[in-house]
Amino acid sequence: MPADGVPLQPKDKLLTTEEILRLARIFVEQGVRKIRLTGGEPTIRRDIVDLVAEMKALPQLEHVGITTNGLVLTRLLLPLQRAGLDSLNISLDTLQKDRFEKITRRKGWERVIAGIDLAVQLGYRPKVNCVLMRNFNEDEVCDFVEFTRDRPVDVRFIEYMPFSGNKWHTDRLISFKETVELIRQRWPEFEALPNGPNDTSKAFAVPGFKGQVGFITSMTEHFCGSCNRLRLTADGNIKVCLFGNKEFSLRDAMRSNVSEEDLVDLIGAAVRRKKRQHAAFSPRHAEPLADGKSPNDTDRRLADTSRPSTIASAALFHHHLHSHRSQLLQAARHCSSLSHVNAQGKAQMVDVGEKPTSMRLAQAEATVLVGERLTQLIAANELAKGDVLSVAQLAGIIGAKRTSELIPLCHNIPLSSVKVQAQPLANEQCVRLEASVRCTGQTGVEMEALTAVSIAALTVYDMCKAVSHDICITNIRLLRKSGGKRDYQRREQS
Ligand SMILES: Nc1nc2c(ncn2[C@@H]2O[C@H](COP(=O)(O)OP(=O)(O)OP(=O)(O)O)[C@@H](O)[C@H]2O)c(=O)[nH]1
Ligand SMILES: C[S@@+](CC[C@H](N)C(=O)[O-])C[C@H]1O[C@@H](n2cnc3c(N)ncnc32)[C@H](O)[C@@H]1O
Ligand code: SF4
């Protein structure tokens, strides 16, 4: 706990019980089988027991766990167990009462130990998380191993990770290998055990001890290759990586009544951007790897993990859709000479039922002139609102899918593919957007491609307008289309 405490989020920014449960249901329907409630500190939520009970009622969910500072377990663990809690991890960085009070700036060490013992009595095999820091608690490594002699607990040593403001430094990191060597000086028989496919920790034990020891080697041997985790912050942002920027505000999407289908799309798009390894570091390792690969640098490079990036565009996007739609409907009422008008002067859709089915493709582009500074900020992904290019891409995809709702007489066409590319061009000081839409049907998809780039362009505007209003959306145009009665190819494309 920092000396000045930590700023708390206003309550209305946090997800409500209903919002958490709705997202839990959606995630489970999409294939998630384990949910861990962590934090922040999950036990400060008054609804924590109800949350566990409601989640356990989701038929396909196999496991609900919690990670807690353990301070109120003696009061809460029994109700949590009755609610169905499957497992618990308790954070404890020291076995010394005074040191605990120094780290946490509060009393309560005895309560945490009592919470661990209660968990054991109730039949759990709790995991005890201990972050090792040099010149701080490294002298307790063997005490923690000793803690596993008579208790069926899994003590896990976590390599100290850099998070914004925690004064991380390479020198403070105590590596997995170093810790194992230290333990083997006292217990030479300390042995490795098998691990599960997506475990964060490497299991070890002293033969004969009731408990075991694990190592979470996020820094020296990252396990990103087998990482299958998604993270949802207390205020509703989905993060596909612990070290990544915030992704989308699912809270804002839900509060602006985005449909469930679009919510699933937002989640899917975030998941597809999950990288092979964590974003915050160069691929270099801090020291020789256990698998024998040689390191090339001991100086770990950190990217800026504290960069703010609130992406609340789902809400704004929804707003655009609605205002855009009513403007368009108004315009349609004044257009009496359209071909989509019947003999009585009423608007009608063209009946495409007789047309042959064919594979149709349309490509369109748009250019957003943003100026030099914004082009640089976008390229470096340094805008406060978040990752402009990814959000624009996603908005374009949603736009293509919603075209028939926006353009009054457009058919609702099942699309087989929508691809949107967003590229900052340094020389032209612009973002170029290109959409490519495909379907197999009786009418084409040029409106879908044009809508995709238009919505993507508006999204770029929306995410940049805090920096400058000197932005111009231009050159929204069809590039080519094929598969219908007449193909089209734009000649001059600059
Ligand atoms: N790099 C990385 N580290 C993680 C991730 N999840 C958990 N950890 C590390 O594991 C520590 C303990 O996290 P816990 O909340 O106990 O969760 P867990 O280890 O995933 O728990 P289990 O489900 O019991 O394996 C964290 O402090 C991190 O150091 C992750 O997704 N990526
Ligand atoms: C952030 S806490 C949140 C849950 C809960 N409040 C708790 O104390 O367990 C989750 C885990 O992250 C660990 N953790 C916190 N800061 C860390 C750091 N800089 N490096 C590695 N692990 C860290 C904690 O020790 C804890 O086990
Ligand atoms: S990809 Fe991110 S979340 Fe997954 S293990 Fe690596 S750091 Fe953790």
Residue 88, helix vs strand vs coil: strand
- The two three-digit tokens of residue 220, written as one number: 């020296």
- CATH class of residue range 11-273: alpha beta
Confidence class of residue 380 from pLDDT cuts 50, 70 and 90?
Answer: confident
Mean pLDDT over residues 93-116, rounded?
Answer: 96
**Catalytic-residue membership of 199:** no
Closest CA to 419 of 383, 394, 454, 446: 394
Cα R_g (the chain), whole angstroms: 28
How far is the C-alpha of 238 from the C-alpha of 242, rounded, in Å? 10
Cβ atoms < 10 Å from Cβ of 199: 13
Asked if 494 contacts 459 with a C-beta cutoff of 8 angstroms, the reply is no
Asked if 55 contacts 24 with a C-beta cutoff of 8 angstroms, the reply is yes
What is the tens place of the pLDDT at every residue in 342-351? 555 455 556 6
Tell me if 390 CB under 6 Å of ligand 1.
Answer: no
Write down the pLDDT at residue 411.
84
Asked if 41 contacts 33 with a C-beta cutoff of 8 angstroms, the reply is no
Mean pLDDT over residues 88-96, rounded?
Answer: 98
Please state whether the peptide bond connecting residue 444 to the residue before it is cis, i.e. omega within 30 degrees of 0: no
Residue 9 has pLDDT above 50, yes or no: yes
How far is the C-alpha of 317 from the C-alpha of 427, rounded, in Å? 29
Which fold is adopted by the domain 358-489?
Alpha-Beta Plaits (3.30.70)
Residue 257 has pLDDT above 70, yes or no: yes
pTM of the entire predicted model: 0.65
Residue 243 has pLDDT above 70, yes or no: yes
Write down the pLDDT at residue 315.
29
Residue 120, helix vs strand vs coil: helix
Domain ranges of the chain: 11-273, 358-489
Write down the pLDDT at residue 351.
64
Q: Which amino acid residue places its CA nearest to atom 14 of ligand 1?
A: 67
How far is the C-alpha of 368 from the C-alpha of 373, rounded, in Å? 13
Tell me if 131 CB under 6 Å of ligand 2.
Answer: yes
Write down the pLDDT at residue 293.
31
Residue list, ligand 3 pocket, CB within 6 Å: 222-224, 227, 229, 241-243, 277-278
- The two three-digit tokens of residue 379, written as one number: 């390229």
Write down the pLDDT at residue 167.
67
How far is the C-alpha of 345 from the C-alpha of 129, rounded, in Å? 73
Write down the pLDDT at residue 320.
32
Residue 104 makes CB contacts below 8 A (sequence gap 6+) with: 1, 69
Mean pLDDT over residues 113-123, rounded?
Answer: 97
Closest CA to 438 of 493, 393, 397: 397
Q: Please name which ligand lies nearest the alpha carbon of 161.
A: 2
- The two three-digit tokens of residue 85, written as one number: 């809690």
Question: DSSP secondary structure string, 205-273?
Answer: E-TT-SSEEEEE-TTTS--GGG----EE-TTSBEESSTTSPP--BHHHHHHTT--HHHHHHHHHHHHHT
Question: Which ligand 2 atom sits closest to the C-alpha of 159?
Answer: 21
Write down the pLDDT at residue 345.
47
Write down the pLDDT at residue 3.
80
Q: Which of residues 165 and 342 earns the better pLDDT score?
A: 165
